[in-house]
Amino acid sequence: MQAKPLVQIKLCGLNGAADVAAANSVSADYVGFVFVQKSPRWVTPARAAPLAAAIAPGTVKVGLVVNPTDADLDDILALVDLDMIQLHGSESPDRVAQVKTRTGLPVMKAVGIAAASDVDKARTFEAVADQLLLDAKPASEEMPGGNGVAFDWRLLDGQEFSVPWMLAGGLDPTNVAHAVRLTSATMVDVSSGIEAAPGQKDPAKIKAFANAARGVAGTASI
């Protein structure tokens, strides 16, 4: 029987061939490409296209966008073979539904968490989003994600959602196991926590993160 990790990992902000190789080496479940120019992890569609093509089969390729226009989405998908769209801005439930219809792809909606009311806000997307990403609420919309800041994970203690959800915000190889135990998350997202410098992924940290996340709950036989 083959052992399967119980915690899935998403490595976000890949922007070079070495990042792709590192993600493939740990069999990442999801990878993310950031189409946000203000981010140090920004990639253009032309740059992302060959990177996405080199991702191992079976890994979900996610395009992260912030309040995209229809033209933005069209430009990205004209070049990049993505499996999912991640909306990381102030998009409404209606806009989530519009993006799903326009792109024909599943949508992950990121919601910033700082208080119990934000958890309630996340629930407003359950009817339209295919997945939720619960991230630390940013201080400003200039950098809505990838800030290396965690929120109070106790806010998720005992919470259940009707769609799959992913934990993000300030995770790294040293704290991801604790975060998973505290929240019972089955999917985790990391970006700055696996970098040597902003936008520069560290293969050793990627391996350490994958091992720490997947080692929390042991394995299940399938």
- Give the type of residue at 133: L
- The Cα 112–Cα 119 span in angstroms is 9
Three-state SS string over 22-65 comes to HHHHCCCCEEEEECCCCCCCECCHHHHHHHHHCCCCCCEEEEEE
* Domains defined along the chain, listed by start: 3-221 (3.20.20.70)
> 164-204, pLDDT tens digit by residue?
999 999 999 999 999 999 999 999 999 999 999 999 999 99
Among the residue ranges 14-28, 110-124, 205-219, the one predicted with the least confidence is 205-219
Residue 153 has pLDDT above 60, yes or no: yes
Share above pLDDT 70 across residues of the chain, in percent, rounded to a whole number:
91
Residue 148 has pLDDT above 70, yes or no: no
* pLDDT attached to residue 144: 53
For the segment 78-98, the average pLDDT, to the nearest whole number, is 98
Residue 130 has pLDDT above 60, yes or no: yes
